Structure 1
């Protein structure tokens, strides 16, 4: 398979992983929010947090398991990884903090 074909297949894989990740994380967050507060929450800030989690997991793990191999594939810097995860967790927890106010 050529470089372009593997790139296209990898982009399709990325989109499928993104959709599955967002559905799973969103469902878990809605379930936790409903268990904690007795109602479904408006998790508008959780979506960017979930996207950050996906970005970190893809760049540090899933990109090395795919079909497209490149010499440019590198893991994220550990400091950047920690920072992105902290920001993502803050964005995911933020709707719950609004209900306490």
Structure 2
């Protein structure tokens, strides 16, 4: 039962937070006239949420398994760098293509 509650919690966190931040990012991109590659920013937001979940939120949930572990610093930095690249890539693509 705890596992089911944790999966539901994960889905709600990613759906609600991901939708909110993707919507804000979409508004920012549209104000910059960048709408063709919005999905890259949405993927960047999901990667950030994944890193936050693995490093913080997983320890505050219902699941009490022993295999919980934070991401290594190297992995965290790599994922956050890749996410930052994905967030700034749509305006750069629009600038160089248009």
TM-score by length of 2: 0.88
Q: State the 1:53 CA deviation.
A: 0.8
Q: State the 1:40 CA deviation.
A: 5.5
What stretches of structure 1 of length at least 5 have no aligned partner?
Answer: none
Deviations 1:34-53 (A, max 9, x none): 33x2x351312122212211
How many residues are paired up?
95
What stretches of structure 2 of length at least 5 have no aligned partner?
Answer: none
Q: 1:80 to 1:89 in 2, by over 3 A?
A: same
Alpha-carbon distance in 1 for matches of 2:48, 2:69: 17
Match of 1:9 in 2: 5
* 1:49-88 superposed matches below 5 A: 49-88=44-83
Alpha-carbon distance in 2 for matches of 1:21, 1:51: 9
The list of structure 1 runs, each at least 4 consecutive aligned residues, that deviate by more than 2 angstroms after superposition, is none
TM-score by length of 1: 0.86
Are 1:22 and 2:4 counterparts? no
Match of 1:95 in 2: 90
CA RMSD of aligned residues (A): 1.3
Q: State the 1:31 CA deviation.
A: 2.0
Contact 2:44 2:82 in 1 (8 A): yes
Are 1:41 and 2:35 counterparts? yes
